[in-house]
Every structure is written in structure tokens, then in C-alpha cells.
Chains A and B, each alone.
Chain A
Amino acid sequence: MPVMQGKELRIVGFLCNWCSYGGADTAGVARAEQPTDLRIIRVPCSGRVDPLFIVKALLNGADGVLVSGCHPRDCHYSAGNFYARRRLEVLKRFLPVIGIDDARFEYTWVSAAEGQRWQQVVTSFTERVHALGAAPRIEDAKPFLKVADMALKPLRTLGTGKNAPLEKLKEAIKAKLPELECVIGWQKGYDDIHTTPLFMKSAEEVDKLVWGPLNVVNTANYLSQFKGKKVGIVVKGCDSRSVVELLQENLISREAVTIFAMPCEGTLDVARVNEKLGRYTIVNAADSDGAGLLVTVDGKKHSLAMEELAQGKCRCCTHPSAVLTDVLVGDAPQAPAAAPTPPELALLDSMGLEERRGFWRGQMERCLRCYACRNACPMCVCRDHCVSDARDPHWMTQEADVVQKLFFQTIHALHLAGRCTGCGECQRACPVGIPILALRQQTARAVEELFGGYKPGFDPAAVPPLLGYEVEEQNIRETRI
């Protein structure tokens, strides 16, 4: 049905069956006058409201979304609304990064007896949305393309791991190999400046192990596929956080994994290396001077300085040494304490909502839905059962428009909220260079702010914040509407 003469806006309400739906009913029975823009969807509990319901509505033309559940401590299922509160708070802080005004979304609590309160909630939220007007659509935004400045000064001097005791590491792996199915590491790839994962099963294979700034792939990605088997894994600092997060979520068991580590001196942004080298046929020589790689391609010399070409995450890296190890080789360097805002997110921070919509529209247009981003993520453990592929529930259509594509990125970012360690593999994997890491960085920042500085992947015993709750949340100030 067309919206009434353009006077009404489209507002979607998710109301829990036990309290708020009853509250709305009470208001209705009492003939309490209320605006009619709201379309109510009854759900069993506010805890049933997946934040993606809200994003889906907002990306597909809703002007506002309201979630209402039972008051804290009154949940029919005891704690559904406590879980909801955490997720919805994260969502509120996420919406602006994709250019959606967070004022278009609100959650609140209304009991079945509070007909009057319901009237007031609907009225004030509707007024709020009317003040904002009809929601601008992402697909109508004017493309606004800007590139993050990745040449941020590193927190510490980065290097190439030239003097790392690789032979010692190899000996340590060989010693443990008989007990293990295999050990995951890196080997030389199709040329001297690209590496590829290595699965070591024999001493000869251990000799293929390489160490240095080209070891970009996060080895933790492969761990979950070895479930039930004892495996070893060689990690950089960032990879170790993924291992810990997998442990936190019981996706692997501590006894089944042996962690080998050497302190990391940083890795190269291979995309920018490729760009710097341009089109070449062969690598004639590759060496390192400690501060970068010196490579000769097609007879021409290039210097790939870490200072210039390291990945963004390495510039902000506070944990170059593994956070959990069984075998540590080499001395752990002095780790810098606090990280600045990562460059991708800093770029988004510098934009207004309209520019952000234009940014994502312009960037997502060239997404081919190849899902390399998803499959490169060590924490995307649904693997062959991703909602984006499902026909039932039907989250996404096969249409190749920016809304579908951005919605998938939102699914990934929100499914990773409180779990993403910022390893950056999603963005690195994207063949067309869409800076999708910014979305994950924003959820990570929201989680950190809301849950006492929590960072995923440090403590194997810590419960990921969105899998828990506190009755009195320290940092959540609910808006009273």
C-alpha cells in the first residue's frame, strides 16, 4: 500500500509478545490516540530481534525502527532483553558508519500494563523520525570516493624479521611433528614476493617454512577444519589472537593445538607492493636489508620499505608477540601500549553521514559477491552454512545491487561484533580493494567502549561480550523515550 499521501513515514516496530505488544494493546483498548506510522511486528522476545532485522529494514526503505521489550528483570525468558540490550547498543554505534542516522533507531522497554507509556513512546519516536524526514537511500547517494592514508607512522620500528631464529623454529617444529597431524605455516608462493600457506607433515616440508613480511595469510583460518585432530600452527601476533578467540568460543580445543610463535616485525601490504612494482614478468632477486625488502623484477631494482608499505594493522600493532604460545622462539620486543584509530576507520570518521553513504555506494558497486572476504575470515566459522547463501531464511536476494552487497558486509561486521580481532584478512582478501575493514573496526570500537575496554582474542577464558550480559551494565546509558 502506498504511504498515505506522503504524510506518513515507514516506521517498523519489533515488539515482544509478553510486554510491549500487550502494552500496545492496552493503549489501543484505552483508545489512546497515537500516530499511525508504526507497523508492528510481534516477536517472542526482544532477545529474538537480530540486529540484522533492523539493518535490513533500514537499508530497504524504513525511515525508522523501534524495538520494545519487557523492562529489565521482567523478561518472560529471564534474560532475553539483557542480551538484546548489548546487541542493540552495538548496533546503534554501528549504523552511522554506513551512513544511517542512529536517531532512526531506538529500543526501549514497555510493560503490558503501560498503555500510557506506550502511547508516549510511539508518539515521541514518530515525532523524532518525522523531524528527520524520509530516510535517504544508499543507492541514491552520490558516489564519494576517497582513500585512507595508510602511511601512518608505525608505533614501533617495523622490520623484515631478517635475524629471526627461523632455523631454531624449524627444529622446534620437527621435534613436535611426530605428535601432530600437521603444522600450518607459510612457504614461497608463485614467486619470491608472494607466499602461500604450508601444511607441514614431514621434516622436508618443515624446511620449506619461510618467515618474514610476506607471511600475510592468517594461519588460524585453517584451524577449525582440523577439528578432532592434533595440529600445530605457526603464528604472528595477530594470528595468535584469532587462535585465542577460537578457543574462547570453544571452536577448537586447547589440547588439540600446539602454537609455535616468533615475534613479528610487521607484514607488507601486498596490494600496494604489487602496485609499486607494476606489471612484471619475473622476480630476479629478493633480499632484505632489515628495514625492507630489496627486490629486482625484470632487471629493475625496487626497495620495499616497511615504513612505507606495511599493512595498516601493523602500524597500529600492540601485540607483535603471540598472546598465547606453546613454543616461543626469539625475544619478545617491547610492545607499544595503546593503538591510535586505525587508518580505514579514521577516514570514515572524517566524513558526514551523506558522504559515508556516497562512500559505500561508490565502493560496493564493484563488489562481485565472491565472498573472499567472508572465507578469509578466521572467525567466519559457519563456512558452508552462511546466511548469505541461504534461501530459507531468505536474508538476501541474488540481485547485484549495492543494498544487497552492503547488507552482506553488515551481516559480516555484526556477526563478528565482539569476536573480530582486527586481523584485516577480510579486506586483504577483497580482489577489488573495498575497504570493508572499517566496518569491523567500528564494531570493535563500539565493543571496546561499551564493555570496559574489552578486546577479543586475549584471554582464552573470557566470555565474548555478546554472549553474556550484566544486569546493571556499567557503560550503557539507555535513552529514555
Chain B
Amino acid sequence: MRVIRFIQSDGFPDFLARLSRNNRVLAPVVKPAGKRSVVFEQWREGMPVILEKTTVPPKEAVLPQCETLFVCKKSKNPDNPEDVGMTLGTVPEDASTTLPTLIFACRSCDARGFAVLDRPFLKGPFADPYYKARRARLAVITLTCSTGCNTCFCHWVGGGPSSPEGSDVLMTEIEDGFVLQAMTPAGEALLESSNLADGKDIFPKAEAARKAAWASLLPAPDLKNAQQKVAAVFKNEQFWREHAAACLSCGACTYFCPACYCFNITDEGDAFEADGARRLRSWDNCMSSLFTREASGHNSRAQKAQRLRNRVSHKFSTYPENWGKFSCNGCGRCISNCPVHLDIRDVVVNALAVEDE
């Protein structure tokens, strides 16, 4: 059995302070606003942590909303203006690159999101160096869920409230405290270097809590044919038009998805200026019309139905075709954050029900 520790409910500030000595610890905090929003922020002494599922998933830890890939500077030879020199400038550093990152109180669905991102970024013909650098220094402590919720469906798509994929440590609430179980060598090292008490004796309680959480979930439909079924409705325009009728084409579904990873690359600034020009990589999303607009002006997905089809198909048919798994972890954020309450579950379930032609 791997390393198992126990922490008392009031022990988090000490634990986090210890972890913060050599990590950028990201922990969930509530932002004061009319709408409750919980986000991951770098933990600092005295910051109240809330053990809720966040509104914004932690994928920013490895794939920032915007990052500078490189800075480029140009200079002219005053004697010969045709002689232009070009050099690479330095990319400003931030905590996401200088320190290892530790996500505290992640959820299983979000942790599995990292596994979804790893495949294209690390396991394809090329490994993305920017992603790789952050990912190699990422550790995840996941809080297992004690219940499901009205929008999430992890157990439909191969996960579950205590699924270990993507997590280094699983943390489960039992009465008056939490049991932490290392799932990877990194998780072991992390727990071993802590001063937490051993938890082997009470581990059965954690196991029981996890079982109870599983048992509390509503029955899941069988998605074993989803890949074929979603692929089969690809050409059914009517199907997509109906499902996209209420869609506003915004990015709330994709930008809040732990498993969406599309990006855009743009250049900003002037290489002749003091700060140089910056090549940026920033999030992009397939629900926006600009995503597929070509330089000629032609747009291969000019209609929102085509864009919704892309999102759902990528998650349930094309990504699985390439990698053998769905690229949806059932976190439900695209449902709960959608301004018009569209439900990706409906789309998939309805695709299953369409008779093959």
C-alpha cells in the first residue's frame, strides 16, 4: 500500500504553508461578487481556502490563458538602414515558470483533464516544450467528491468521484479530517516530506466514503457506442441545427472546460520598439466564428450548428478516434456556465438515439 496520511480539518493552513515553501500552491478561493465564483489562486498565508469545486478549472496551471512564447527585437544599422539585425529578447518570468505548481483540492474530473491535455501536447509526434515545462513540475492533490451534482456526469465518461487519473494524491473527507493517499511516486514524496500523521489505520473509512459517493450517483447511460453514434450524426444537419438553436456562440463552454485546449498564435507589438515584439499563445475556441475563418475570408464553419457539432464531435468522436478516450470528463461546467443552459449530455444521448441510416 502506498503512503497514506491523515490531516485534521483545521490542519490545512499549516500544511499549505509548508507546501508553499517550494511550490506555487493553487487553492480554491471565493471571489466576492453577485454570482458565487470560486477560482484557483496562489495560496498565501492567511488566505481562506474553500473546499468547493471551482467555477474555473485549473487548466491554466499548464495552459495559461495567454503566454509569451518568445520576444523578438530588431535594430537598424544607422549607417546602412538595409542592414536589420534581429535578436531574441527575454520572456518575462512569472511564478508559473519559476516554481513547481501544486494544485490543492482539485476534483477528479479536473485532474483527468490534465490527462486529456497530455495526449496531444506530449504524446503526439511532437512534445510541446512550453506545456511540457509546466506539466513536468505539476503535482495535483485531488479532493474526492462525496456526491455528484445536477450538471456533472464523470461516471458517464470513464471517471468517477474518486477516479485517480491525473492525481498524485487523493484526499477524502472522513469525520473530523481527511485521509490523503499517494497515487504516484511524486505524491508519495510529497506526503513523506509532510509532517502529517500516518493514516493507514483509518484508510478503510476513506474507502467507505468513496464507495458511498459512487453509490449516490444517478445511473449513467451506456456510452460505449457514443464514438460511432456521434460520428454517424455528423452529416445530419437537422440534428445539429436543432441542438444549436439556442446557442449564443460564446466561449463559456470551451474556456471553462478542463479538457479544451485549442489556442491561437498572434504577434503583438513592434520589434523595433524597446520591449520588442511578442509572439503570444492564447486560448481560442471552436464556438467562435473566427476560429475557422481563413485569410481568404472563407469560413468552413460559418454556422453555429457546425461549430457546436465540432465541439461535441471532437470530444466524443474524433479525439476518441485518435486517443481511445473521450475528451470530456463530465465536469458539467459547459452546462452550468452556459448562459442559456444548453446541455451537452442531451446532445450525446440524443445522438445515441438516432437510428443509423
User: A residues within 8 Å of B by Cβ?
Assistant: 145-148, 150, 189-191, 194-197, 199, 217, 221-222, 269, 271-272, 274-275, 279-283, 297-298, 312, 344, 363, 366, 368-372, 374-376, 383-384, 389, 391, 397-400, 425, 427-435
The listed residue (A191, A222, A281) touching B148 by CB distance below 8 A is A281
Residues of chain A within 8 A of B345, CB atoms compared: 190
Q: Please, which residue of chain B has its CB at the minimum distance from the CB of A432? A: B37
Question: Do A389 and B34 touch across chains, with their CB atoms under 8 A apart?
Answer: no
- Helix, strand, loop or mixed for chain B's interface? loop
Please give me the 6 A-B residue pairs with the lowest Cβ-Cβ distance, nearest first.
Answer: A433-B35, A271-B35, A429-B339, A384-B289, A433-B33, A370-B251
Looking across the interface, which residue of chain A has its beta carbon closest to that of B65?
A400
Q: B150 → chain A, closest Cβ, in Å?
A: 5
Query: Which B residues lie within 8 Å of A391 (CB)?
Result: 266
B343 close to A189 (CB less than 8 A): yes
* Known contacts A189-B343, A196-B342: A430-B35 contact under CB 8 Å: yes
- Asked if B341 and A190 make an inter-chain contact with CB atoms under 8 angstroms apart, the answer reads yes
Alpha-carbon distance between A433 and B65 when the two chains are bound, in angstroms: 18
Residue B190 at the chain A interface, CB threshold 8 Å = no
Interface segment out of the listed B13-21, B242-250, B309-317:
B242-250
9 contacts between A and B (CB under 8 A): A217-B339, A271-B34, A370-B250, A370-B254, A372-B337, A383-B249, A399-B282, A400-B66, A428-B339
Chain B residues close to A by CB (< 8 Å): 31-37, 39, 52-53, 55-56, 64-66, 147-151, 216-218, 245-246, 248-252, 254-256, 264, 266, 268, 280, 282-283, 285, 288-290, 302, 335-337, 339-343, 345-346
Q: Are A196 and B246 in contact (CB under 8 A)?
A: yes
Could you tell me if B150 and A282 are in contact, using CB atoms closer than 8 angstroms? yes
Contacts A195-B341, A196-B340, A275-B36; A398 near B31 (Cβ below 8 A)? no
Contact: A280 with B66, CB < 8 Å? Answer: no
CB of B339 within 8 A of CB of A425, answer yes
A312–B34 Cα gap in the complex (Å)? 10
Q: How far is the CA of A274 from the CA of B53 in the complex (A)?
A: 14
B32's partner among A145, A297, A344, A397 (CB-CB below 8 A) is: A145
Question: Is A283 a contact partner of B150 (Cβ separation < 8 A)?
Answer: yes
Q: Do the beta carbons of B251 and A199 come within 8 Å of each other? A: no
Q: Which residues of the other chain, A, contact B264 by a CB distance below 8 angstroms? A: 398
- Residues of chain B within 8 A of A283, CB atoms compared: 150
Which of A150, A196, A344, A389 has the largest number of chain B CB atoms within 10 A? A196
A199 close to B245 (CB less than 8 A): yes
New A-B contacts (4) at CB < 8 Å, excluding given A217-B339, A369-B283: A271-B36, A279-B147, A312-B34, A399-B280
A377 CB to nearest B CB, Å: 9
Q: Are A147 and B340 in contact (CB under 8 A)?
A: no
Question: What residues on B are CB-neighbors of A370 within 8 Å?
Answer: 250-252, 254-256, 285
List residues of chain A with CB within 8 A of the CB of B250.
370-372, 374-376, 429
Q: A398-B66, A432-B55 are in contact. Are A369 and B31 (CB under 8 A)?
A: no
Chain B CB within 10 A, most for which of A274, A398, A428: A398
Contact B56 A398 (CB under 8 A): no
- Expressed in whole angstroms, the minimum distance between the Cβ of B106 and any Cβ of chain A is 16
Q: Is the CB of A371 within 8 A of B32?
A: no
Query: Quick one: which of A194, A369, A431 contacts B55, CB cutoff 8 A?
Result: A431
Q: Which B residues are CB-close (under 8 A) to A374?
A: 250
Q: Are A197 and B268 in contact (CB under 8 A)?
A: no
Cα distance, A221 to B250, chains bound together (Å): 13
Evaluate contact between A191 and B150: CB separation under 8 angstroms: yes
Cross-chain contact B150 with A190 (CB below 8 angstroms):
yes
User: In the complex, what distance in Å separates the CA atom of A409 from the CA atom of B55?
Assistant: 21
Taking a contact as CB atoms under 8 Å apart, the answer to whether A371 and B251 are in contact is yes
A281 touches B216 (CB 8 A): yes
A432: which of B35, B254, B342 is its contact (CB, 8 Å)? B35
CA distance A400 to B150 in the complex (A): 31
Contacts of A150 in B (CB 8 A): 34
**Taking the nearest CB of chain B, how far is it from the CB of A36, in angstroms?**
21
A372 near B342 (CB under 8 angstroms)?
A: no
Are A376 and B339 interface neighbours, CB within 8 A? yes
B137 CB, nearest partner CB in chain A, Å: 21
With the chains together, A376 CA to B248 CA distance in Å? 7
CB-CB under 8 A for A369 and B36, given A194-B341, A196-B246: no
Q: Return A437 CB to nearest CB of chain B, in Å.
A: 9
Contact of A279 among B149, B218, B268 (CB under 8 A): B149
Which residue of chain B has the shortest Cβ distance to A297 in the bound complex? B150
B31 touches A221 (CB 8 A): no
Q: Which residues from chain A contact B289 at a C-beta distance below 8 Å?
A: 383-384
Query: Measured between C-beta atoms, what is the minimum distance from A411 to chain B in Å?
Result: 16
Alpha-carbon distance A143/B227, docked complex (angstroms): 46
Given A194, A272, A280, which contacts B35 in the complex, CB threshold below 8 Å?
A272
Pick the contact of A280 from B34, B149, B245, B342 — CB < 8 Å?
B149
- Closest CB-CB distance, A311 to chain B, in whole Å? 10
Report the Cα distance A312→B264, complex, angstroms. 37
For B248, the chain A residues whose CB sits under 8 A away are 221, 372, 375-376, 429
Could you say which residues of chain B place their CB within 8 Å of the CB of A217?
Answer: 246, 339-340
Partner of A281, one of B147, B249, B251: B147
Separation in Å of the B153 CB from the closest CB of chain A? 11
Which A residues lie within 8 Å of B148 (CB)?
281
A190 touches B37 (CB 8 A): no
CA distance A167 to B150 in the complex (A): 30
Report chain A residues within 8 Å CB of B302: 384
Q: Would you call A272 and B147 a contact (CB within 8 A)?
A: no
Residues of B within 8 A of A197 (CB): 245-246, 340
**A272 touching B266, Cβ below 8 Å:** no
Contacts of B64 in A (CB 8 A): 400
**Given the complex, which residues of A lie within 8 Å of B245, measured CB to CB?**
197, 199
Q: Tell me whether A190 and B343 are in contact in the complex, defined as CB-CB below 8 angstroms, given that A279-B149, A368-B65, A384-B289 are known contacts.
A: yes
Within the complex, the shortest CB–CB distance from A413 to chain B, in Å, comes to 17
Q: Is the CB of B252 within 8 A of A372?
A: yes
For A425, the chain B residues whose CB sits under 8 A away are: 339
CB-defined contacts of B218 to chain A, threshold 8 Å: 281-282
Shortest CB–CB separation between residue B229 and chain A, in angstroms? 21
A194-B341, A372-B250 given as contacts; is B256 within 8 A of A366 (CB)? no
What is the CB-to-nearest-CB distance from A277 to chain B, in angstroms, rounded to a whole number? 9
Q: How far is the CB of B76 from chain A (nearest CB, A)?
A: 16
A432 to B337, CA, bound (A): 9
Closest to B151 in A: A190
Contacts of B37 on A, CB cut-off 8 Å?
Answer: 366, 431-433
Q: How far is the CB of B215 from chain A (nearest CB, A)?
A: 12
A429 to B256, CA, bound (A): 13
Contact status B280-A398, CB under 8 Å: yes
Q: How far is the CA of A145 from the CA of B32 in the complex (A)?
A: 6
Task: Report the nearest A residue to B346, measured CB to CB.
Answer: A190
Given A370-B255, A372-B339, A432:B246 Cβ within 8 A: no
Question: What residues of A have a CB within 8 angstroms of the CB of B66 in the complex?
Answer: 398-400
Residues on the B chain within 8 Å of A282, using CB: 150, 218
Most B Cβ at <10 Å: residue of A150, A269, A376: A376
Which B residues are CB-close (under 8 A) to A194? 341
Known contacts A279-B147, A398-B282, A431-B337; A372/B33 CB under 8 A:
no
